[in-house]
Amino acid sequence: MVPEVLEYLNPEPGGTWIDGTSGYGGHCFEIACRIGDEGRLIGLDVDPDAIDFCRKRLDRFPCRTEFVQAGYEDLGSVLAEKGIDRVDGILLDLGISSAQVDRGGRGFSFRLEGPLDMRMDPERSPDAAEWLAQADLKEIRTALLKYGEEKRAHAIAKAIVREREMAAIDTTARLADIVLTCFPDRNRAGKVHPATRTFQALRIVVNNELERLETFLSFFPERLKTKGRAVVLSYHSLEDRLVKNAFRNWTGKMDPVLSKLPIRGEIEGPIKILTRQVVRPSEDECSTNPRARSAKLRAVERTEKPL
């Protein structure tokens, strides 16, 4: 969704721009092309491989580019260290990159044999195998229900607890096989692999994804200049719900007292929503890049109203 991201983020020459999930630099590259030699682009990612890659990919741009291995939820302290108060735009492109999924050694994909790792930051622990080894049945079931919206959460959690008594569940293939045993044959032929939701849930737990997103959403307007913009691309309903609700709360229109007053239309919060409807990728993009199919973009702009 590069054109849509650029439309809503509106990177212009000069100013300071944040890519909070720089990944392999696709969006960074496009932003850097637009902000000229006076511009400053700061990319964050928890994955050290992504940071190394971006440093090399973007080192020849005339603008100032800096890449920091840090979570976007720590944006406040990253900016404070650089003596920056507020910025012109923040982009988050949530989830994992193709480079992470497509490397079996990272353990994100049930389609590729590899260690059951799933950490975006390989220095954090536990990894997915360690988490599965120590969690109790209730924790596993809750994670599958909450983060995977998996209807067979109970059966899968029971199978995991039973199987780990025989041998550690420490490869992607072994976990995928265990999940498959919980689905009757007729459910195995569908479009979505039965292990999809279990792998998604585990990845979210291991990387604390929703808590980190909530932390960011609780403070980000403080870091935007007036007319500064934030754009978030999310890939599943749990993330999108958090983003949608936080954006609405920040508009001020959700205030239980103010929203009942007749002046409702005039209430202005510290942000205004730019995307009244969620923005989805074009059909063209979905056909050339099927992974974009689930993407949802929401964008806001900081108003003059103090926080």
In contact, 150 and 142? CB cutoff 8 Å: no
Q: What is the DSSP letter of 302?
A: E
Q: Where are the beta strands (DSSP E) in the chain?
A: 16-19, 40-45, 64-69, 87-93, 224-234, 271-273, 296-302
Q: Where are the beta strands (DSSP E) in 259-307?
A: 271-273, 296-302
In the complex, what is the shortest distance from the CB of residue 5 to ligand SAM, in angstroms, rounded to a whole number?
Answer: 8
Interface with ligand SAM includes 17 (CB under 6 A)?
A: no
Stretch that binds ligand SAM, among 15-23, 56-64, 183-191, 255-263 (CB under 6 A): 15-23
Interface with ligand SAM includes 15 (CB under 6 A)?
A: no
CA dist., res. 16 & res. 36, Å (int): 11
**Of residues 209-238, those binding ligand SAM (CB under 6 A):** 212
Q: What is the DSSP letter of 154?
A: H
From the number of C-beta atoms within 10 Å of its C-beta (0-12, 13-18, 19+), residue 113 rates as middle
Residue from 4, 93, 240, 301 touching ligand SAM (CB under 6 A): that is 93
Compare residues 71 and 228 and give the one whose CB is closer to ligand SAM. Answer: 71
Interface with ligand SAM includes 194 (CB under 6 A)?
A: no
Interface with ligand SAM includes 96 (CB under 6 A)?
A: yes
Compare residues 126 and 252 and give the one whose CB is closer to ligand SAM. Answer: 126
Count of residues in contact with ligand SAM, rule CB under 6 A: 21
Compare residues 207 and 251 and give the one whose CB is closer to ligand SAM. Answer: 207
How many angstroms separate the Cα of 280 from the Cα of each of 23, 233, 242, 273, 293? 21, 10, 17, 16, 8
Compare residues 141 and 203 and give the one whose CB is closer to ligand SAM. Answer: 203
In contact, 303 and 271? CB cutoff 8 Å: yes
CA dist., res. 200 & res. 94, Å (int): 13
Stretch that binds ligand SAM, among 88-96, 145-153, 284-292, 299-307 (CB under 6 A): 88-96
**Of residues 21-60, those binding ligand SAM (CB under 6 A):** 21, 23-27, 44-47, 50
Binding site for ligand SAM (CB under 6 A): 20-21, 23-27, 44-47, 50, 71-73, 93, 95-97, 120, 212
